[in-house]
Structure 1
Amino acid sequence: MALNNVTTALLSLLVYDLIFLLILVAIVAVLAGTKRAAFAVMKRNFVGYFSNPTGYVFLCIFVFLTSVAAFWPYEFFNQNLATLDQLNYWFPLIMLVFIPAITMSIWAEEKRQGTDELLLTLPADDFDIVIGKYMAASAIFTASLLFSQISTFVTLAILTEGQLDTGLIFTSYLGYYFVGLAMIAIGMIASFLTGNLTVGFILGALFNAPLAFASLAESVSPNQKLAAWLAESGIARPFDDFGRGVVSSSSVVYFVLVSSVALYVCMVLIGRRHWTGGKDGNTMAWHYIARVIALVVITTGAVTLFRNKDIYRHDFTEGKVSSLASATKKLIRELDADRPIVIDAFISKDIPEVYAKTRYELINLLKEFRSEAGARGREIEVNLYDDIELFSDEAALAEERFGIAPQTRLVKERGSSQQKQLIMGAAFKSGLEKVTVPIFEYGIPVEYELVRSINTVASGARKRLGIVATDARLMGGSVMTGMTAQQVPRHMLMDELGKQYDVEEVDLNSPVSADIYAALLCVQPSSLAPPQFERLLEAVRAGVPVAVFEDPAPVGAGYITPTGQPKQAPGGMFGGGGQTPKADIRQLWDLLELDVPGRAGMQGMYAPDIVWQQHNPYPTLDDQANELWVFIDEEAPGAGEGQALSSENVITSGLKEVLAIVSGAVMAKGESTLTHTPLLQTGGLSGLIGGDKMQEIMSRRSTIAREAKGLKPSLPIAMSIEGKAVETPAADPEKETTDGEAEPAAAAKPIKAVYVADTDMMLPEFLMIRADPNTVSEAKFQFQNVTFVLNVIDWLTGEYDFIEVRKHEPIFASLRMIDSVKEIARTDVRNGSKEFQVEYDDAMREAQEAQQARMKDLQEEVEKLQTQNADGQVSRAELQAKLQTFQTQQELEQRKLDVRRTKLERDRELKVRDIERTAADEVTKIQNKVKAAAVTLPCIPPLVVGVIVFAARRLRERENISKSRLK
């Protein structure tokens, strides 16, 4: 299967290359038909280069250097992405060696051999000679580049098992091609200036060096504006688009114009024979210098114009890793052109592997934001400080000015867990509005964080979100457990929502106006007092959008009163301060026209049934999860496509998995006038069970499916509700306006609500898993609970664009072959650790049993003496002496046991470290083998061809030599 994928990927690349080569062949065909002399020059130089073994040596060196740059650096395997980032970094330096090696002989060799005069006597003009030489050098470079591309692509295809981004690799090499075209044209200038090959090589490297090293200007120039302009003028900025998989008109125009100017200079240099030494020689020299300067100025202006206004820009990556969501582009279009936005992003040099993908995406998106804003006439200034040291001036600036400090994270690298510090944050500013993201966690969508921050500083105002004060205490507070007050911290979800909304607590001691809050979030409304609950109902009737989370059996927060149980008042000697009035949740169900299956509970209350399901996509959770952990995904048996996570509502459309823990069910009433859409539904192996029956079964450690009666597939546990406006009371005649007429009643808004039969869906642990999906590395959770909750709020408030941005997830190609080796290593470590733990437990049990056996006789003797002492047969002094001996011996045995435990724990840790080290060594060995193969194997074909060419050439030379002279 992997071989088929590799073959398919290679064929797709060859299709790209074939189209590219056909375009080049068409250009050469036009040249051959219109400029025969130029075509003859091109053919002569191209054939001459590859008829010489030296050409294959240079080809071998080029492939070797590109392979080393692409695969040898540690960062390639550390970031675990099938990209050419490392080669992109080193490629300009490689070109400074390879391009002068091609161009140094273009004209200098002609001068050295005296064939330049012969060329100049051909029936051709200067353009024919220059363009012929240029296209020959370009053809040589193209052949070398294609060979390097195929060898690099094959290596990446094997590493990714064929699942790599062909578009990204092709555009990267297309960028190398344009870089080569520009540097060849500049290198030709050096060759036309001298007849010495060595001097031509040195001058070619020197002339190209400013373009290659222009990006370093900001680190050496005190004038930041000048340094920024110089950095923009180099090849790094226009090539960057190609390296990220984007083909843009500004980048193409840059390389074409630079090449054109350099070729014109070459024509001036080859044509100087016509006017050098004449009476107007100096005048003509200044004339051509002025022409060149004018061309440079025109080129600079054109490049600047196209850079600020891209006519064409397309992301060719298959995973769309360099594309913005349509909602993001819409937000940029709607930005105020008079309010520029400044983004200062700081990224440290040493990034852990798990954050490598986030770093790659963050840099890509920041550059796309800048380009998209420029194309739309909006100003987003991006100051990107990449590869900074933790104690550099840039790091100090990030902490002092923006509060972006180094963050410490526990990561696993090279077989061991270690604390690593990293910087990867950004500050956003527009006017007086500021937002800071201290760190982009690798589990949170980067584009969503960027869009939300930009929108916050750009708008200057946020919608207001009301958090209803209930037993859930989302805003924090204290609860009484017996006579002790327990402090409940502010829910992490409030901080997440606070990045987008003005979050306020609503106590419902007074009516809620429909115009104050964009939406209400009410968790466990059944815990409200009846007057407060009635005001919640009034708000729903008035059309205030409401998100309701009502749980029949909260698990994560024990202080939340279940739906069907009475609410205990705080206080009392034993915490039983009596019962307090509690809302009848059925009134809300009637208002929303919902049917919640259940049964009558205690004291006239209603206890909803519990949902169970037989489906667990995480085998490593078998010991913790049970049938009450309801995994909502389309992989569940009997789950219909687009039904488990409804594709009919933007809240769940595109989501993959949500986990509910001990949840209830919610259905629409028959003949309902409102529109109900089930958002989350179970699969086919699911059902309902009463709470008391559930506890009875769980206490017997039996399975619910074995004892439950019948299945109830496709049980909804979340529902969106929409409907027409509820009729409002007639106008009150007693309320008159200033004109003496009765004040008309306000028109009610349509009902808009989401009801979720579970509160554990928003546990803080889910936010931690979202930020760090590798919290449990063996499980690799894919829960999207937080995304679901945020989508619910955004749907209610009308912020649909943010829902779309959250769903826009670029697809990155990882090194699957290395991942599989790592997975095997992790499995070995996990199995070995379990084995060592069993050995430890057995050894400890044996040690404890041996200790008890040694103490048994002494303990029996003490018990016998205690009995005799009670009968008066043994003195108290003798008993005390024996007890002292027993206590001393017991302490001695305990110390022995502690020493044994410490030794066993140390041995266990050493064994675990050894197996982790062995596993890490296996991964390193595979990586080293890949490096060696990727560097050496591509060099073999050109060397073999070079040897064949050399041998054939020697044989041809010997054919015309007499045998007597060969002796």
Structure 2
Amino acid sequence: MALSLRHHRLVRFASLVVLAGSLTYATGRTNVRADVTAEGLSKITDTTRELVASITAERPVMVHAYVSREVPRSLVPVRTRLLNVLREIEAAAGDGLSVRIVEPEPYSEEAQEAVDKFGIVPRRMVDREAGRAEELQVFLGLAFVSGPREQVIPFMDQGLSVEYEIARALRTVTTDDRKVIGILRTDAAIMGDFDLQARTQKPAWRIVDELRKQYEVRTLNPNVAVPDDVDVLFVPQLSSLTQPQLDHVRAYVDAGRPALVTVDPMPLFDLRVAPTEPMLPQGSGFGAAPAGQKGDYKGLLRDIGVVWDDTKILYDAYNPHPMFADLPPHVIFVTKRPDGTDPFTDADPIVDGLTEVVVLFGGEIAPSEGHEGEFVPLLTTGKTAGFNRFDDMVQRHILFGLSGPIVPRTRSPIDGEVHTIAARIKGAEASGEEAKPKNVVVIADLDLFGDQFFAMHERGGDLDGDGIEDIRFDNVTFLMNAVDALAGDEAFLELRKRRPRFRRLTLVEELTRDARMQREREIEEANAAAERELEQAQAALDAAVAKIRERDDLDETTKQIMIKSVEAAENRRLEARREQIELEKAKKIARIEAEHARRIDEVRDRIRLLAVLLPPLPPLVLGAWIFGRRRRRERESTPASRQRAAATAKTSESESAIKDRGGDA
């Protein structure tokens, strides 16, 4: 019996379902994967693929991944990328690599296993979704085990690169001899120290923990020669070394061995370590050793190929972040600027592809005169830069010592030049008969490696919790790239650049651009007006004092008394005026912010209205078109006799209706 048309359609549909299921199963069995996203973060790079392929069954690696099934919304992309990368690695690996993915529930045996075996503890987080807040215990940790070697990532934070962290951990557990980073012990105790006065241990900087994830890190005694097995020498605050200690550094650099040297004119972590200040005594109390004499660190830098003014602190008027508008200009944002300067495009591999690096009260370096080597700038200011002197930004008190930084009211004029903050020196001429070409990175700031940047690197720059990074500072990436390049290990330089690009609503940003620019201009005008009024008040005070000094009819004692009296009175008026100006400026900025918010809301309201009105239009138009098409096809398929009969019937009905109305009348 022949099948009806309905049965034919049912058989065809069932066949398509079976075919789709078979193709899905076959594709899954063959481990064929494809990542069609723009960033390709769910597929591994050739560097990682080669690393995974090198793991053999003779030295196997077991990856234990503890990944919670439920995570807060902000961590959903991280969880997805983590699982995708683990599956990609497992698919590309041979018999030497095994991946075990566990989804531990709170207080389960798997959760206890993660804590007991590897120290991976859940992080308590609050998930705010649909107007409710729910506390979750989230696992996003990994443990890499190869024989006696073990490497643990306690938590894959939002700001971390999943593939980079996994690849680095795999290489750490599969490498017999890790390269050695030697950190010279200086007054800048980044390796930690014991405070005898407080009887507490100062922790090491986060920079040390980050380096230990990839290298063997040692503390080096500056009073002896650098050991031969040190691959990279890290000298924090070169200016705090004595001459014999500098000679050891010189011997190391002259041998052509790589070094990372920092020279900070204003170290915010401890102003006593500034180059203009005397060396700190070793120890405290009666057992303290006398402070030594600083050596000729400028001479060593000149021989390397660098000139450094140790009292100059740079500033840059460009600040791309309205949220940081209150920061002093000495916090420099090294990034692509409207003036055309872009230090991170087609640059040295250390900085190529970075987004932004923050420098805190850093200094300036320049190539020394007659230097024949290659001086490659890494971090630079824009063309809106100038400087202040160290003594203008600190206060010295007989009881409280050195304090600062104090942002002075006056600065050097903007010179329109680009100033170098960090540079790489390669192939510089030798300073001794047996010296070899230099391989040194010099950075005129140490605060840019502060713990706050490492914390931000881990948690990401999502400040408002919308899942989109508002800021991205690459200070940690800059450090690791510099060390890798000096160590001759550039495998991870490209891998660190692989980060998600967060797409914003470009139309909204385009429509609100004028409002933002006007807001920034008005805020700048308000700040400038307040600055001018304060300068005028200060000028009046200076003029009153100068007028007294010019009087010839008064002796010096009377002048000093009158000056102090005038200064006291003018300072009171100046302080009152300053408070009034600041209050008026705050009110004006508040009005500007309110007007800016109103303009933004107007744009958003228009977009919301369009979002309500436009979506129904396509289905309505499509429905009208389909209805008209069906009616037309019905008319075309109706026989002519039926159409004439329908027309005749309709005409008869109309005539009857007319007669009925006439009879009623």
- TM-score higher than 0.5: yes
Secondary structure of the residue aligned to 2:80 is helix
User: Offset of 1:448 from its aligned partner?
Assistant: 1.2
For the 8 Å contact 2:314–2:363, the answer to whether it is kept is: yes
Taking a change above 3 Å as real, the CA distance of residues 525 and 333 of structure 1, as seen in their structure-2 partners, is same
Query: Out of 506, 527, 530, which is 2:240 matched to?
Result: 527
1:426 aligns with 2:142: yes
Q: Say which SS state the counterpart of residue 801 (structure 1) adopts.
A: coil
Q: What secondary structure sits across from 2:67 in the alignment?
A: strand
- Asked whether the equivalents of residues 258 and 438 of structure 2 are also in contact (C-alpha less than 8 Å), the reply is yes
Would the aligned equivalents of 1:325 and 1:804 in 2 still touch at CA under 8 Å? no
* TM-superposed deviation, 1:343: 2.8
More off after superposition, 409-418 vs 753-762:
409-418
**Shift, 1:533, TM fit:** 2.9
What SS class does the counterpart of residue 332 from structure 2 fall into?
strand
Q: Does 1:366 align with 2:258?
A: no
Pairwise mapping of residues 781-860 of structure 1 onto structure 2 (< 5 A)?
781-811=471-501, 813=503
Q: Distance in 1 between matches of 2:267 and 2:496?
A: 28
The answer to whether structure 1 residue 651 and structure 2 residue 363 are counterparts is: no
Secondary structure of the corresponding residue to residue 314 of structure 2: strand
Residues 167-191 of structure 1: CA distance to partner in whole angstroms, max 9, x if unpaired? xxxxxxxxxxxxxxxx9879239xx
- Aligned: 1:591 with 2:297: no
**Structure 2 counterpart of 1:608, from 294, 308, 311:** 311
The answer for the alignment partner of 1:753 in structure 2 is: 440
Secondary structure of the residue aligned to 2:351 is coil
Q: 2:278 aligns with which of 554, 566, 571?
A: 566
> Which of structures 1 and 2 has the bigger CA Rg?
1
Aligned mates of 2:12, 2:144 — CA distance in 1: 42
Q: Which residue of 2 aligns with 1:495?
A: 209
1:434-445 alignment runs, 5 A limit: 434-445=150-161
Distance of 1:566 and 1:425 partners within structure 2? 46
Q: Which ranges of structure 2 fall in alignment gaps of 5 or more residues? A: 396-403, 514-603, 650-665
Look up the match of 1:850.
none
Distance 2:4 2:317 in 1: 84
Contact kept, 8 Å, 1:409 with 1:420, in 2: the verdict is yes
Structure 1 residues 391 and 445: CA distance shift in structure 2, 3 A: same
Give the Å deviation of 1:578.
5.8
The amino acid that maps onto 1:535 is H
Instruction: Report the Cα offset of residue 815 of structure 1.
Output: 6.7
Query: What secondary structure, in the 3-state scheme, does the structure 2 residue paired with 1:443 have?
Result: coil
Offset of residue 379 of structure 1: 5.2
Is 1:640 aligned with 2:341? Answer: yes
Residues 767 and 712 of structure 1: CA distance in aligned 2, closer, same or farther (over 3 Å): same
Residue of structure 1 in register with 2:549 after alignment: none
Q: Distance in 1 between matches of 2:192 and 2:129?
A: 37
AA of the residue aligned to 2:214: Q
SS at match of 1:563: coil
For structure 1, the 5+ residue unaligned runs are 1-107, 117-132, 138-182, 190-203, 213-232, 239-250, 255-303, 598-606, 730-746, 824-922
C-alpha deviations, 1:701-759, integer Å up to 9, x for none? 65444xx2452621111111122684877xxxxxxxxxxxxxxxxx8654211110111
> In 2 relative to 1, CA 710–329 (structure 1 residues): closer, same or farther, beyond 3 Å?
same
Task: Give the drift of 1:760.
Answer: 0.5
TM-score computed with the length of structure 1 as normaliser: 0.50
Distance, in Å, in 2 between the alignment partners of 1:725 and 1:820 is 52
TM-score for the superposition, normalised by structure 2 = 0.70
Aligned equivalent of 2:562? none
Q: Identify the residue that residue 390 of structure 2 maps to in structure 1.
A: 691
One-letter code aligned to 1:791: N
Q: 1:669 aligns with which of 361, 368, 380?
A: 368
Deviation, 1:465, is: 1.3
Q: For the Cα contact (< 8 Å) 1:472–1:560, is it kept in 2? A: no
Q: Contact 1:474/1:490 (CA < 8 Å) preserved in 2? A: yes
User: Residue 446 of structure 1 aligns to which amino acid in structure 2?
Assistant: V
Aligned to 2:332: 630
Q: Matched residue of 2:494: which SS?
A: helix
CA distance in structure 1 between the partners assigned to 2:609 and 2:70 by the alignment: 21
The aligned counterpart of 1:111 is: 3
Contact persistence 1:543–1:725 (CA under 8 A)? no
Shift of 1:534: 2.3
- Native 8 Å contact 1:544 1:751 kept in 2: yes
Distance of 2:132 and 2:367 partners within structure 1: 52
Structure 2 CA distance, aligned partners of 1:334 and 1:704?
A: 60
Q: 2:123 aligns with which of 395, 398, 407?
A: 407
After TM superposition, give the deviation of residue 433 of structure 1 in Å. 2.9
Aligned counterpart in structure 1 of residue 189 of structure 2, from 458, 473, 478: 473
Contact 1:612 1:704 in 2 (8 A): no
1:771 and 2:458 matched:
yes
The AA in structure 1 aligned to 2:483 is I
Taking a change above 3 Å as real, the CA distance of residues 568 and 321 of structure 1, as seen in their structure-2 partners, is closer
Does the alignment pair 1:381 with 2:98? yes
Cα separation, partners in 2 of 1:417 and 1:664, compared to 1, 3 Å? farther
Q: Determine if contact 2:64/2:144 at 8 Å carries over to the other structure.
A: yes
- Structure 2 matches for 1:99-178, cutoff 5 A? 110-112=2-4
Query: How far off is 1:792 after superposition?
Result: 1.0
Q: Check conservation: 1:336, 1:458, Cα contact below 8 A.
A: no
Task: Kindly state the Cα deviation for residue 651 of structure 1 after the two structures are TM-superposed.
Answer: 0.5
Counterpart residue identity of residue 495, structure 2: V
Give the deviation of 1:786 after TM superposition.
0.9
Contact 1:568 1:576 in 2 (8 A): no
* 1:765 Cα deviation after fit: 0.4
* CA separation of 1:699 and 1:593: change in aligned 2, threshold 3 A: closer
Q: Which residue is equivalent to 2:528?
A: none
Let me know the Cα RMSD of the aligned residues: 4.6
Deviation at 1:668, TM superposition (A): 0.8
User: Could you give the per-residue CA deviations for residues 349-375 of structure 1, whole angstroms, max 9, x where no partner exists?
Assistant: 33223223322322332233334x25x
Aligned 1:59-70 pairs, distance under 5 A: none
Q: In the alignment, which of 59, 63, 84 is matched to residue 343 of structure 1?
A: 63
Q: Classify the secondary structure of the residue corresponding to 2:63.
A: strand
Structure 1 pair 724/954, CA: closer, same or farther in 2 (3 Å)? closer
Q: Given the superposition, is the C-alpha separation of residues 945 and 400 from structure 1 closer, same or farther in structure 2, using an over 3 Å criterion?
A: farther
Q: CA deviation at 1:326?
A: 4.1
What one-letter code is carried by the residue in structure 2 that aligns with 1:538?
Answer: A
Could you tell me whether the CA contact under 8 Å between 2:62 and 2:146 is conserved in 1? yes
Contact 1:762–1:789 under 8 Å retained in 2: yes
| CA-to-aligned-CA distance 1:413-464 (integer Å, 9 cap, x gap) | 6679886432222222334433221211111222211111121123243211
Q: Name the counterpart of 2:520.
A: none
Partner Cα distance (2:68, 2:11) in 1:
35
Could you tell me which residue of structure 2 aligns to residue 762 of structure 1?
449
CA–CA separation in structure 2 for the residues paired with 1:938 and 1:404: 52
Alpha-carbon distance in structure 2 between the residues aligned to 1:550 and 1:397: 46
The letter for the 1-side match of 2:73 is E
Query: Aligned residue for 1:719?
Result: 423
The residue that corresponds to 1:257 in the other structure is: none
The AA in structure 1 aligned to 2:14 is: G
Q: Secondary structure at the match of 1:580?
A: coil
Q: Specify the alignment match of 2:578 in structure 1.
A: none
Distance 2:609 2:646 in 1: 51
Residues 1:360 and 1:938: Cα distance change in structure 2 (over 3 Å): farther
CA distance in structure 1 between the aligned counterparts of 2:160 and 2:432, rounded to whole angstroms: 43
1:682 paired residue number: 381
Q: Which has the higher helix share?
A: 1
- Other structure's SS at 1:487 match: strand
